[in-house]
Structure 1
Amino acid sequence: MIRPLTVLFVCLALVGCSKGISLSKSSKNTERITEYSEDLSMFRPKYPIEAIEKTAPTKPTEAVEPVSKKDVKVKSDTEAIDKILANVSIANKDKTEGSGYRIQLFSGNSREEFENAKGYIMRYFPELEIYESYSQPTYRVKIGDFLSRPDADKYYSSLKPKFGACRIVADKINIKKAIENK
């Protein structure tokens, strides 16, 4: 029993210590690649020689005759741009909502503070639209429709001393009202 185990152990030791070829090393190339070259001429476009000769000038000093503006009809870029802008304005006429900013003045559980915030805005900022919401138990008051954050900052700076928790929030706004307030 000891002899077969000894023979097996010696065989395993010899196999383990030999410089055998492993699968992972056999697939690797030991040469270092120092330069890359590949023939890509088969992918290049081929032109007939006659076409090249027709486009190339025969004499480098030969003057080209100017073409009069009456002979050439040039389509103006501004005409194309005007058509595109007209299509965009027609598509945008029907849109009433877009992304913008509002100022959230109040968010809390007190109905009395909610009503006071609305009253203050109606009294001192009648030009701003008031958006109130209630999802039990929280009341929220948001005001204004602003296209950009700097527009909202103008009102925010005057409201911050009165409403300490007010902040500017991104929201869906009424675009027509936002343009009127500008």
Structure 2
Amino acid sequence: MKRSLLILIFPVILMSSCSLIKKTSAPTNEFENYQEDLSGSRIIFPDLEEQAAKEETAPKGGEKVLSADDDLEIALNNLKEANKAEMYWSGYTVLVYSGVDRDLAFKTRNDLFTYFPDFKTDMQYQQPRYLVKVGKFVNRIEALTYYHQLKENFPSSRIIQDRFLREGYVIPEPVTDGQQQN
């Protein structure tokens, strides 16, 4: 009884309280003459013509001004030289088989040679498991084309991160006491 009475009274109170709120609308022309001065808080940039004129003048002392392309070329060459010094590079490969069964690993490798003779297959043994991998890719997107082709015949295939020995990298010989380093 009390519950049904509350259910009936609550909406009545709610509706009556809404009518107490005055609904006023501002006239549309109330803010017509509003003005605000923001010039004190604005950032002021130098004139573009003045800035261009400064850039065109050659620096004193015969210094060479490099464009952004020249700067990028220098940075890329420095990065290339630093990368050549690295023994390994990081990339992606498609892992076709990973398991402890040696016979299944060799069967998977032979099936890869049969189905995809153009793919470079690599088989590794990392105790206690055998890994059969396909390809060496710089980024994951390059590996996706191989992955989609392999997925049909090898459903357990997946793309993984890997490290590869840099081609042409010569491992420096250790320096002994009798030799001098150049």
Q: TM-score, normalised by structure 1?
A: 0.49
